[in-house]
Amino acid sequence: MPSLDVCLSPELLHLYELKGKVVVVVDILRATSSMVTAFAHGIERIVPVSSLDDCLNQKQEGFLTAAERDGRKAEGFDLGNSPFSYMEPHIKGKTLIMTTTNGTHAIRLSMAADKVIAGAFLNLGSVARYLQEEQKDALVVCAGWKGNFNLEDTLFAGGVADRLAETFTPANDATLAARHLYRLAQQDKIAFLSESSHVKRLKNLDIIKDIEYCLQEDLYVVVPVLADDSLVVLEKEIVN
Ligand code: 3SL
């Protein structure tokens, strides 16, 4: 039986072997939720980059760009990191260059894995199906916040563990803990996360609707997969 492991922060990634594994990168609030939303609404390709400068250079080449720092849209870019801005018809068929505080960085750090996919509650079922079909050891990499643990990414890791409980072996205590937390939170994630750091941070920016949206499960059938340096989708149902 393949194993399912959880890396609770990108700072711990040096402890994990990525080769031979499928990595699921998650940044529930909000990078990977926005990516999944963008693909579900027809974006063609997302190139995750680490720095604002890299993103700006691509803007000068004519690409659509998105940049977020500390929860806010960075000045001079087309889009920020609200999933609602990825529901607009004008994104269809476009390539997006994207940089966020933690999410895009975590994707770039995971590139040594056999496969890298982007996960969110919005595509939890698709992620679980993908891992099931791959039948390889899997690792959920939680983007966290500036190297710190966060609760919402851990809950997602627990959701993956819960969906795959019959077919994957938990690799260690992080997987077990994540699943326990997910089962505690499952009925009301919003209440469970009400005291969490990033929820408080985003509430201060008055974006509660983003939080509520990102905590919904199985809204989309989409699996964003890294191919070279870009995310593209394998499975998708475009929302009209
Ligand atoms: O850190 C990130 O990558 C972002 O998702 C953070 S925020 O939700 O846009 O504040």
Rounded to whole angstroms, the Cα distance separating 170 from 35 reads 27
Range 3-232: architecture per CATH: Alpha-Beta Complex (3.90)
How deeply is 233 buried, as exposed, middle or buried, from its count of CB atoms within 10 A (0-12, 13-18, 19+)? buried
| All structural domains of the chain with their residue ranges | 3-232
Ligand 1 pocket: which of 25, 26, 28, 30 to mutate (most atoms within 8 A of CB): 30
pLDDT at 13: 97
Q: Would you give per-residue pLDDT tens digits along the chain (240 residues)?
A: 999 999 999 999 999 999 999 999 999 999 999 999 999 999 999 999 999 999 999 998 999 999 999 999 999 999 999 999 999 999 999 999 999 999 999 999 999 999 999 999 999 999 999 999 999 999 999 999 999 999 999 999 999 999 999 999 999 999 999 999 999 999 999 999 999 998 899 888 878 999 999 999 999 999 999 999 999 997 555 665
Q: Is the CB of 81 under 6 A from ligand 1?
A: yes
If you measure from the C-alpha of residue 102 to the centroid of ligand 1, how many angstroms do you get, rounded to a whole number? 6
What 8-state DSSP symbol labels residue 136? Answer: S
The residue nearest atom 7 of ligand 1, judged by CA position, is: 71
If you measure from the C-alpha of residue 167 to the centroid of ligand 1, how many angstroms do you get, rounded to a whole number? 32
Residue 60: partners with Cβ closer than 8 Å, 6 or more residues away: none
Q: Is the CB of 30 under 6 A from ligand 1?
A: yes
pLDDT at 59: 92
pLDDT at 239: 65
pLDDT at 238: 60
pLDDT at 29: 96
Question: What does pTM read for this prediction?
Answer: 0.95
